[in-house]
């Protein structure tokens, strides 16, 4: 059997590992558009700041150890499910028996001119490395970031640490999609204390990148044009699915998959930042691009490709930040009854709906994150203990006394 995996990120790597657990003989071909061994995008910020190659979290010899037919710098142009064929760049074709699409996502901004040259991102090692070369050669001194979500804020801290003057455009408030107003305000205070400029209100309502082919500035709705040496588009993450046009593979925002992560073709699966699955709590169709979801989806897709019939119970909205000086973690929704406590620099907020924990936001002390996540996943009725969830001594020992022993789940950044 010939298995092809499009993508060498966490989802693709997890799929390959899952397959090799049960089958050492099948041929696995892994394709990636980048010229590197598999790496972990969440680890890029620390690598860029420290130079330590922690992003090669599986080792640079991973393809050899797993006996993968690894093809770096290979781009898929067309997928032809009827013929079980991929058309690659440089006129190459590749046949498959089973296919896993784990092609990841890219930063984008839904404004005019976002396709112009000179708009950077740190989502890929190739893009980030090119930008860092300019920074370290002191050819650039200022950066303008369009978008203040988790990724935009992380990029702002990274570029500031590298010595650039950074301006962050915040249309409403920092990390609005994942933080409540109080938590958002706390993060904004930290940004300002680090010397990062924040432009908000009408002066931050970007309508487009201006310039001919090369970006030369960002135009605001007011007509003002802001300029910098570096421009970053970070208002969202878009699945890499353009190459699927005309393939017949069902897509919406991402690739539509069932509870086994199978597409509308029985021998094609999708996992990671391209997979449109179900929210574990609400059941709504979502694409949640983060490391824990990608790893779990990749593993289950790999098992199911082998016929092991594993059910995927749904994705979780989850983001974490490690470069603020204070850790930040946001998981789940912000609906229902709000529970809150603040001690010194630590802010902890929980949301309870129908007697169950549906979301939490932690700034500073994140020691209980794994327990909260487990309670969410198991949909435990916490009605009798909800007043104790914010206690300074709340932890595994407390739960053990109640015979509630949650299974710890993975925690990681998006």
Residue 403 has pLDDT above 60, yes or no: no
Tell me which of 19 and 190 has the higher pLDDT: 19
pLDDT tens digits for 156-203? 998 998 899 999 999 889 999 899 999 999 999 989 999 999 998 777
Q: For 207-222, write each residue's pLDDT tens digit.
A: 999 999 999 999 998 8
Q: Which of 227, 217, 221 is nearest to 205 (CA)?
A: 221
Q: State yes or no: pLDDT of 405 exceeds 80.
A: no
Same fold for the pair 2-104+240-305 and 326-401: no
278 exposure class (CB count in 10 Å sphere: 0-12, 13-18, 19+): middle
CATH number, span 110-237: 3.50.50.60
Predicted confidence (pLDDT) at residue 150 exceeds the cutoff of 50: yes
Whole-prediction pTM: 0.90
Instruction: With both helix axes pointing from N to C terminus, report the angle between 10-22 and 291-305 in degrees, rounded to the nearest 10.
Output: 30
pLDDT value at residue 5: 98
The architecture that CATH gives domain 2-104+240-305 is 3-Layer(bba) Sandwich (3.50)
326-401 fold = Enolase-like; domain 1 (3.30.390)
pLDDT score for 275: 98
Q: How confident is the prediction for the chain on average, in pLDDT? A: 90
pLDDT, position 289: 93
pLDDT of 129: 85
Q: Note the pLDDT of residue 388.
A: 86
For the chain, the 3-state helix, strand and coil shares in percent, each to the nearest 5, are: 25, 30, 45
Instruction: Tell me the C-alpha distance between 261 and 268, whole Å.
Output: 9
| Res 121: pLDDT | 73
Question: Among residues 115, 145, 118, 332, which one has the least CA distance to residue 238?
Answer: 115
> Does 406 have pLDDT greater than 60?
no
For residues 39-44, average pLDDT: 89
Per-residue model confidence (pLDDT) at position 65:
97
Q: What is the pLDDT of residues 100-146, one digit of tens each?
A: 999 999 887 788 998 888 888 777 888 888 888 888 888 899 999 99
Give me the residue label for tokens 């130079």.
51
At 320, is the secondary structure helix, strand, or coil?
Answer: strand
Give the residue extent of every domain in the chain: 2-104+240-305, 110-237, 326-401
CA angle 68, 19, 28 (to 5 degrees): 30
């Amino acid at each position: 059997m010939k298995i092809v995996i499009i993508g060498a990120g966490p989802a693709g790597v997890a799929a390959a590992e899952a397959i090799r657990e049960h089958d050492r003989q099948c041929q696995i071909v892994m394709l990636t558009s980048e010229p590197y061994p598999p790496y972990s995008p969440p680890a890029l910020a620390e690598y860029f700041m420290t130079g330590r190659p922690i992003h090669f979290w599986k080792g640079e010899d991973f393809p050899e150890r797993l006996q993968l037919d690894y093809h770096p710098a290979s781009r898929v142009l067309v997928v032809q499910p009827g013929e079980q064929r991929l058309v690659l760049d440089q006129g190459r074709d590749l046949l498959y028996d089973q296919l896993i699409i784990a092609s990841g996502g890219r930063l984008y901004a839904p404004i005019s001119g976002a396709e112009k040259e000179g708009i950077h991102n740190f989502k890929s090692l190739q893009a980030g490395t090119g930008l860092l070369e300019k920074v370290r050669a002191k050819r650039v001194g200022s950066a303008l970031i369009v978008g203040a979500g988790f990724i935009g804020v992380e990029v702002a801290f990274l570029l500031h640490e590298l010595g650039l003057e950074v301006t962050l455009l915040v249309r409403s408030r920092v990390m609005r999609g994942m933080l409540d107003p109080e938590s958002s305000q706390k993060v904004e205070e930290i940004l300002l204390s680090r010397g990062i400029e924040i432009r908000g209100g009408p002066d931050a309502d970007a309508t487009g990148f201006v310039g001919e082919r090369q970006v030369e500035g960002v135009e605001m709705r007011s007509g003002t044009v802001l300029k910098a040496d570096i421009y970053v588009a970070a208002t969202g993450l878009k699945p890499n699915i353009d190459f699927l046009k005309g393939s017949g593979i069902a897509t919406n925002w991402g690739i539509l998959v069932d509870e086994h992560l199978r597409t509308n073709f029985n021998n094609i699966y999708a996992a990671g930042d391209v997979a449109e699955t179900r929210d574990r709590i609400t059941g709504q169709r979502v694409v949640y691009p983060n490391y824990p979801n990608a790893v779990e989806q990749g593993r289950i897709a790999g098992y199911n490709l082998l016929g092991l019939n594993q059910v995927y119970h749904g994705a979780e909205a989850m983001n974490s930040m490690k470069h603020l000086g204070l850790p930040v973690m946001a998981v789940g929704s912000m609906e229902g009854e709000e529970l809150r406590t603040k001690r010194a620099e630590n802010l902890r907020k929980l949301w309870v709906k129908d007697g169950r924990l549906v979301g939490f936001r932690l700034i500073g002390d994140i020691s209980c994150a794994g327990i909260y996540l487990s309670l969410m996943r198991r949909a435990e009725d916490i009605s009798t203990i909800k007043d104790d969830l914010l206690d300074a001594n709340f932890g595994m020992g407390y739960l053990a006394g109640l015979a509630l022993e949650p299974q710890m789940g993975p925690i990681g950044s998006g």
